[in-house]
């Protein structure tokens, strides 16, 4: 079942890369007492993800923070090494927390998997953006097809 507005994030872990190596990130702990903008991409280094989706959240980061967002995070069904390399390539710095869902467990738990096998990608995440308040989904924007319409940084800004 797909996660809905009003649902609590599942108690799952994602992974981020640190100077010490891969580190688990509890979604429960990350979102506790915070306003979190979480957006997902089908794959690091893919065209729409690299040219539009991630850059939009980097460019709009100060505006998002000015509207009360504590953390902006990007999740993809890629390993943490790829997510780190992609973040470095796109110069995310501290603006966007790059999260790996390497096994797709979080994506499956929220019911937002997609079959990318036709493109050689296997099971990936649908493209979406959500606003999470203290662990509870308050806004959920899922793209209905390819492209970037409802999950852009600009759309999220309008919803804060």
Which member of 37, 49, 54, 97 is catalytic? 49
Q: What is the greatest pairwise CA distance in the chain?
A: 41
Burial of 108 (0-12, 13-18, 19+ CB in 10 A): middle
49 counts as catalytic: yes
Beta pairing partners, 38: 73, 130
User: How far from chain centre, in Å, is Cα 76?
Assistant: 7
Active-site annotation, residues:
49
């Amino acid at each position: 079942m797909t996660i809905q507005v009003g649902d609590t994030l599942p108690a799952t872990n994602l992974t981020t890369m640190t100077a010490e190596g891969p580190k688990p990130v509890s979604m429960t702990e990350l979102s506790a007492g915070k306003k979190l903008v979480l957006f997902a991409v089908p794959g690091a280094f893919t065209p729409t993800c690299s040219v539009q989706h991630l850059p939009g959240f980097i460019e709009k980061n100060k505006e998002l923070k000015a509207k009360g967002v504590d953390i902006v995070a990007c999740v993809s069904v890629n390993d943490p090494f790829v997510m780190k390399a992609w973040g470095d390539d796109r110069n995310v710095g501290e603006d966007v927390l790059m999260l790996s869902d390497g096994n797709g467990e979080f994506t499956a738990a929220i019911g937002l998997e997609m079959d990318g096998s036709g493109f050689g990608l296997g099971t990936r995440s649908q493209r979406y953006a959500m606003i999470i308040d203290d662990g509870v989904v308050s806004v959920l924007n899922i793209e209905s097809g390819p492209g970037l319409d409802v999950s852009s940084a600009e759309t999220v800004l309008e919803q804060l």
